[in-house]
Structures are given as C-alpha cells and as structure tokens.
Structure 1
Amino acid sequence: MADFDTLYEQNHRIGEMANVLSFLIKDRQMCDADITCKLFFQYVNAVNEHLDLEERTLYKPLLTHSATRKLAENFLGGSAEIKRVFKQYVRHWCKNNELHIKDHQEFLDDTNKMFELIWNRIVDESEKLYPAVKKAEARAA
C-alpha cells in the first residue's frame, strides 16, 4: 500500500529545494558555496529516493488492472527516462560529490530544464498517478 503522506512530503521537499537552489545558483559565486553544494546533492538524493519509492509502492496495483495498466506503463517509462536524463545531468556537472561548473550560463540553463522536468513530473503524479493508485487500492480492498 502506498504511503501518500511520505510521497507528498517528498514532493514538497523536492519543490522547496529546487526553488531555493534556483535562487542561489543565479549568482556564480554561490554555486561554489559549500551550503549550495550540500543542498544540491540533497536535491539529487531526494529525487532519486522519491522515484525509487514510487517504483516500489505505486505501480503494482495499477499494473494488475487493464483500465490502469497503460497509465502505470507510461509513468514507469517516464520514471526510467527521468532517471536516465538526471543521471546524465549529474555526471556532466558533478565530480566526486562536488559541482564542477565551467560555463555558468550552460549550468543555469541545464539546471532550470532539469528542475522543470522534475516539477512537471510532480504535478502529473499529484493530478493523475496518485488518484489512480488510490482508486485501484480502494477497488482491491
């Protein structure tokens, strides 16, 4: 059974961290600050933990019903793609748990795109995935 309180809390934390980081990284000097780096990696870990929790808890009830199978497959596919893109992004900008920014504008552009990708996923989860899982769990009960 899905723990929606935890999922919603994770979504809130991820959104909050992205908002703070968006503000901090506009200033090139702040990108090199330890606190910014720590927050950045907290964000990376939070996104990965959230996607992993979803995979462990949400999709099984959806995959067992033909009416919701396509939705589950779409979200699973989206999750795999986000993980792939996110991993590539982290590999590009991070080395040994530190940010390595050679081109600040490129980093800003890439990071803002990543934040938008993750935020759009969170909105879709809240509006489409979670209600479908709740209905599937209610049917199974």
Structure 2
Amino acid sequence: MVTSRKYAALWNERGFTLLEALFSFFIVCLISFSIPLVIKGFSLVREEMLPPPYYQWTLFNESVRQETWKSRGMTVTNSGFSFILNGEKVTYEKYQDSIRRRVNDKGHEVVLQKLSGLSFNAIDGGVRIEGVFLDGKKLEGEFFYYGE
C-alpha cells in the first residue's frame, strides 16, 4: 500500500505533476524551435515572389517601346532621355540604382530597379540603353521614335 499511496501523490489535483511539467516543457520547446523555421520559410516565399531581372527588363522594354513609338522629338543625356507624348514631356532618368519615369518634371515612378550600371546613348532616331543588374546580368535595348 505504501507504493500505491506514493504514486497516488503524482496524480493529485493540487498542482502540476512532474509528468505534466515535462509535457508542458516539451510543447514549449517544440514551438520555440519551430519559430525560426517558419520565419525562414516566409523569407524564402518573399524572395520567390520577386520577379527576376529579365522579367523586369521585358516589362520595361515593352512599355518604353510603346511610348517612344508614338512620341515626337527625343533628347538624350548621360543621365536619361526625354520626349514629347500627347503634348506632355515624358522623362526617363537614372535615380540611385534604378530608372524612374516622370511626366512634366513631376512624379516619381520607378520602372526598373536594382541596377549596378546604366548608360544612355543617342542613336539615329532614338536611344540605346545598356544596363547591368546587381547579379551581373547585362541587358540592352534600342528605342526609336516615329512621330512627327
């Protein structure tokens, strides 16, 4: 009977028993060890959601090509280029590590980002843009205007 009374003290309702305390400690450890894994998973998902550089360049290339196609008169400088589209001055210029678009010298629309190198060169009837992304990928494009 002594042994049964000894084990009966482990299952009383006055407080936690050793078994309950160990189980609670196991649950707390399980949760605290899984938090870094969950955070790492979220950061991987966020990185995968960013478009790759060639996708950004393709979108930039098509939007600039459509705008310059209908534009009139183009001015090219070392830091960017501008043209007239529907009576408004549209400017694409280098801004820190990106290219931004402005209309009538107002606004700040980033159209291409994460560039380590960028150059604008005047060509006959347009502009040549050469860019280098932070990962070292080099891309280039020529944009011509056919307006008046």
Structure number with the higher helix fraction is 1
* Structure ID, larger Rg: 2
- TM-score under structure 1 normalisation? 0.30
Structure number with the higher strand fraction is 2
Which structure's relative contact order is higher, taking Cα pairs within 8 Å and 6+ residues apart?
1
